[in-house]
């Protein structure tokens, strides 16, 4: 298989889907690869409000909060490599929001535009009823066009717009909240 690196911010055409993508619950041993993908996205400056790289140790509490039965953390594997990951987390901690989850999805740059993000997000939607989640939201910078398009492609709508709420390298950035209701009896 040939994996072609792409510019993560370029609005280019799709490429043939990667073959043999599999998704499973993340294991402790996956955390370094998960962190590596996250740190590359931090450097890219369009994905996350985290501005400094994180260490595996710093990410451990976040990792431990996930559970396959309530708020999963999944990894997508391609030929034995961690190509991407998706996490569920509480949207807001108060009880009335317990059926709403925020999801984050990150794909290794060299596997992008091959369908990994789409497959992870699609699985989040199909598994939500089992997890008793009936609304999914994503919090995305307004200049993160690839991610906005990914969520839109899966039927998410723009539910919120918070102008100039973040400051990244002296540039004020907007936050878009995308969301989608998931019927519990899917």
Ligand X SMILES: CC(C)(COP(=O)(O)OP(=O)(O)OC[C@H]1O[C@@H](n2cnc3c(N)ncnc32)[C@H](O)[C@@H]1OP(=O)(O)O)[C@@H](O)C(=O)NCCC(=O)NCCS
Cα dihedral value 179, 149, 46, 166, nearest 10? -40
Region binding ligand X by CB under 6 A among candidate stretches 55-63, 91-99, 139-147, 172-180? 139-147
- Is there binding between residue 116 and ligand X (CB under 6 A)? yes
Separation of alpha carbons 141 and 46, rounded Å: 7
Region binding ligand X by CB under 6 A among candidate stretches 4-12, 63-71, 158-166, 172-180? 4-12
- Is there binding between residue 47 and ligand X (CB under 6 A)? yes
Separation of alpha carbons 2 and 184, rounded Å: 39
Task: Write the CB contacts of 70 (distance below 8 Å, at least 6 apart in sequence).
Answer: 88, 131
Minimum gap (Å) between residue 35 Cβ and ligand X = 14
Region binding ligand X by CB under 6 A among candidate stretches 10-18, 64-72, 92-100, 128-136? 10-18
**Half-sphere exposure in the Cβ direction for 106 (13 Å, CA):** 21
- Is there binding between residue 128 and ligand X (CB under 6 A)? no
What residues line the site for ligand X (CB under 6 A)? 8, 10-11, 14, 41, 47, 104-107, 112-118, 138, 140, 144-147, 149-150, 153
């Amino acid at each position: 298989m040939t994996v072609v690196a792409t510019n993560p911010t370029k609005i280019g055409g799709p490429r043939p889907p990667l073959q043999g993508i599999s998704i499973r619950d993340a294991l402790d041993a996956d955390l370094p690869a998960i962190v590596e993908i996250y740190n590359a996205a931090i450097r890219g400056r369009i994905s996350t409000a985290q501005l400094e790289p994180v260490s595996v140790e710093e990410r451990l509490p976040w990792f431990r909060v996930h559970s396959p039965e309530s708020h999963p953390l999944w990894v997508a594997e391609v030929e034995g490599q961690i190509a991407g990951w998706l996490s569920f987390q509480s949207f807001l901690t108060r009880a009335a929001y317990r059926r709403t989850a925020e999801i984050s999805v990150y794909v290794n740059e060299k596997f992008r535009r091959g369908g990994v993000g789409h497959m992870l997000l699609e699985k989040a939607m199909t598994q939500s009823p089992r997890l008793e989640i009936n609304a999914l939201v994503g919090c995305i910078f307004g200049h993160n066009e690839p991610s906005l398009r990914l969520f839109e492609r899966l039927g998410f709508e723009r539910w919120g717009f918070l102008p100039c709420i973040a400051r990244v390298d002296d540039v004020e950035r907007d936050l878009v909240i995308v969301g989608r209701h998931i019927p519990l009896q899917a």
